């Protein structure tokens, strides 16, 4: 089973298999992450975890670094691969099939956004890859689409994205 961690937004979002935990923590990811993992993971871990998926941003510098450091530390200690996925993929509404726009505020009239085709609750393909846009430019691209702005991340969607991306190279992205 996978373990997914998302810390790039004001939310701490974790998933293990079909179990998930999402809490608004502001900037207290480092303080809240250890306890949240203890609540989420059964005692037989780490043996049951097959891989770790981390949301690599875009997001707050500290939040992204906390999550990545924690995931890489667990991966090293448990001998597991860590898969990095755009935080934007965790913002989809898995109950809505079709084309969706997702975005995070990047301040100063800009946003990070992407447009995905969702099939069966997971991203099937990128229609518009994750990038930084002016708010006006992305609004034109997202016109008429279901658009989730600054949504609460779904760690199960993040984990599914990790399975889709596999061993692709990844790097952290900051706001």
pLDDT at 124 over 70: yes
CATH number of 2-87+153-165: 3.30.420.40
Q: Which fold has domain 92-149?
A: Nucleotidyltransferase; domain 5 (3.30.420)
**Predicted pLDDT of residue 7:** 96
Instruction: Write out pLDDT tens, residues 144-161.
Output: 999 999 999 999 999 888
Give SS3 for 81: coil
Concatenate the DSSP letters of all residues of 50-73 into one string: -EEEEE--SB-HHHHHHHHHHHHH
pTM for the model: 0.90
pLDDT in tens, 20-75: 999 999 999 999 999 999 999 877 666 788 889 999 999 988 999 999 999 999 99
Domain limits, the chain: 2-87+153-165, 92-149
DSSP 41: S
Fold agreement (2-87+153-165, 92-149):
yes
Q: What is the dihedral of CA 161, 94, 56, 28, to 10 degrees?
A: -140
- The dihedral region occupied by 11, where left means phi > 0, alpha psi between -120 and 50, and beta the remainder, is beta
In the predicted model, what is the mean pLDDT of residues 114-132? 94
């Amino acid at each position: 089973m996978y373990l997914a961690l998302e810390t790039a937004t004001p939310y701490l979002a974790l998933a293990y298999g079909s179990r998930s935990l999402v809490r608004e923590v502001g900037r207290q990811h480092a303080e809240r992450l250890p306890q949240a993992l203890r609540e989420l993971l059964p005692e037989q871990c780490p043996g049951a975890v097959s891989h770790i998926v981390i949301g690599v941003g875009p997001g707050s510098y500290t939040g992204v670094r906390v999550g990545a450091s924690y995931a890489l530390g667990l991966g090293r200690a448990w001998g597991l691969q860590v898969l990095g996925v755009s935080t934007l993929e965790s913002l989809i509404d898995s109950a809505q099939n079709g084309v969706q726009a997702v975005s995070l505020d990047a301040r100063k009239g800009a946003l990070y956004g992407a447009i995905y085709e969702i099939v069966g609750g997971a991203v099937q393909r990128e229609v518009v890859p994750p990038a930084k846009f002016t708010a006006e430019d992305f609004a034109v691209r997202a016109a008429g689409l279901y658009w989730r702005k600054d949504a609460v991340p779904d760690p199960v969607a993040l984990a599914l994205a990790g399975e889709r991306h596999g061993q692709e190279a990844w790097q952290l992205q900051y706001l």
